[in-house]
Structure 1
């Protein structure tokens, strides 16, 4: 039995074999294509150049990698690394300094924010008798650019950013010597004389007294050098402003004052201005209800007024606050425009309330103990005549009520320092003669 090769079965087999061969050929072609693509990434025509370049790079590397040149390259890399390390160290130091400054700035910001919260935040009133208002204003930020030379002096002289300051020209040289001699005796290092002329500057230097001689100022130098007590008293408000701008609290002092104790131990520091009084007892010093009788008013004949004797502009403690600086500006401005007594202007600006056409100064104030910070009226009219009070030792004696200042200052030293019990006896209660006008009574300042 014969089978024909061109039967259906054989035809199917032949066709399948041909399909398999085609598939294998296609697979081989794809495989060869992948191999070529891998080996000749830059194409068949660029392969020679790539290989040559690759070989050239290898040859160069072989040349550069000689032991000598390799050592030099390592040294260069080390030097470069060292330089970068040093720069990095400097940068780290600068970053550290900036971080520290930023920390201080943030602390100052936090402090300012807390002050704002205290002043600006609304509070509920507490129980009866527990409510207290704010009296102590925050100090200003120090500004050394105002007077760099004075700032350096104050850094050396001041203690806890406060000091005694007195203005003086050659007219008060003898009183000035009594003034600083007793300050030294008490042991106070933080005091400064603002010399208004060259003679006082040389005198203070010869006595080892801290002194500051102002830079020339044509507008006020003539007043400083030749002016009397009134003119100098007006000048001090302008000069005092710089101390406050630099961030220092000042105990402003006239030179007709004898220091017997350290005044800084008896200050409260809770107000913008803390001043001695011209009052001579509790009523005149601290205030009282003064009743005026006007019979023509019938039932309303009695009119009540609140009275207090003036603060002494020759001895007061002033803190570096905005209201304090505003006070100095107001007084100095008025004295430049008006023929007025500086102590009267000083008290008016501190006391007058706001009213139509006038904005009052919002400064806090405190009256000093009139027995501790004593004026010469209290001393000569009251204390020396009382056997018990005469045993009391004040902090300072201000010879403000009398014209014969120098002999009375020396008598005060004899009485309290040298123990001469009769040293005050020869002097009358008041001065031998009286000024002609109220303005001339500025000797009290």
Structure 2
């Protein structure tokens, strides 16, 4: 019975479309053949004996030419609609093209913006966002010195679409006094308690909950931790061809973009070698999300896992991005892109490799993220001295890693 009803519904929908097409065709024909009688049955016909002057006949011929041109355009539209109906009847089957020409869909459609989710945030984003995109930073008083360095870098570069989500009153006051756009969330005890007094790890996990409303409102979000210095405007360096575009914790092309890693088990004899595909994790402190369903599902999954099981938000972030579907688990179908490690540079790459290479030192990254080191503030300041103030030895005194 269900199948019969579906077929009846499909037949009815096709019937309606075909009826509309037939109506358009009849209207076009009548407009051309009976330009006067169709709309004004009481008017006299045009002809040699109708008393029309040569000027009027010429004008009517001109009108007829215009109508004929419009009819040609309508006919084209009718053909296009007919083709769509035929495709619908065939089940929209897509045929594969010649070898080397076939590509799958990579960019999911954006969600329909829903301002009812948060009208106050929607009005604020209309003023601050640029091209429906925004940088979002969560901060409390514990990270205020780093936030000051970051905001100074944002203003220096001239980034307009930058917004802080203050997690306590002190940061809200700081944003007001420094004319920095901010969004103070509605009271939420569970979130506010963590935001005001929680550790950096706990605060980091809040961002997945907070970002959801930005995506629902139809905005692309570039999430940034506070231990990041902006040296160029990042929006000019995004591809926007994936749901998630993230910087990497990798320190070279292999670790950032993927490589074959051979597992060796001598007890297996001739089958001792197993090839595995590896990639170093996406960094959950700097990533761009397009406003798509997979992006929102990612936020929901990470938030749900952290609320139920806890853990490190970056590990959970990567598990949901990369774990495939398997028995008992349905994987996330989100498209992914790794940012250029020479442009979006982590501090391991900077201090272990870049500062020791004279050619790499000439490159100016888009950002420097001091994610690998605990002495974050002084390394952020050193990056500013090196890349902005031209102090060539600003990075030299630091160790490769953090000295305990």
In the superposition, the TM-score normalised over structure 1's length comes to: 0.70
2:256 aligned partner: 285
- What is residue 234 of structure 2 aligned with on the other side? 263
How far the C-alpha of 1:432 sits from its partner, in A, is 0.7
- SS of the residue corresponding to residue 275 of structure 1 reads strand
Question: How far 1:220 sits from its partner (Å)?
Answer: 1.4
Query: Shift of residue 339 of structure 1?
Result: 2.5
> 1:398-409 counterparts in 2 under 5 A?
398-409=369-380
SS at match of 1:135: coil
**How many residues are paired up?**
319
Aligned partner of 1:101 in structure 2 is: none
What residue in structure 2 maps to residue 339 of structure 1?
310
Structure (1/2) with the larger helix percentage = 1
Which of 345, 349, 352 is the equivalent residue of 2:323?
352
Identify which of 179, 184, 199 aligns with 1:208: 179
Q: CA shift at 1:121, angstroms?
A: 2.8
Q: Deviations over 1:12-52 (max 9, x none)?
A: xxxxxxxxxxxxxxxxxxxxxxxxxxxxxxxxxxxxxxxxx
1:410 deviation in Å? 0.3
2:353 alignment partner, SS class: helix
Secondary structure at the counterpart of residue 284 of structure 2 = strand
Match of 2:141 in 1: 170
**SS of residue in 2 equivalent to 1:213:** coil
Give the aligned partner of residue 296 of structure 1. 267
The 5 Å alignment of 1:21-420 reads 121-420=92-391
Q: Secondary structure at the match of 1:212?
A: coil
- CA distance in structure 2 between the aligned counterparts of 1:253 and 1:218, rounded to whole angstroms: 24
| TM-score, with structure 2 as normaliser | 0.78
Residue 125 of structure 1 deviates from its aligned partner by: 0.8
Larger Rg: 1
Inter-partner Cα distance in structure 1 for 2:197 and 2:274: 47
Q: Give the distance between the partners of 1:238 and 1:258, measured in 2 at CA.
A: 24
1:70-124 alpha-carbon deviations (Å, 9 max, x no partner): xxxxxxxxxxxxxxxxxxxxxxxxxxxxxxxxxxxxxxxx9xx99x98xx83211
1:364-415 C-alpha deviation (Å, 9 max, x unpaired): 0000001100000000000000011101100000000000000000000000
1:227, distance to aligned residue in structure 2 (A): 1.0
Distance 1:127 1:181 in 2: 53
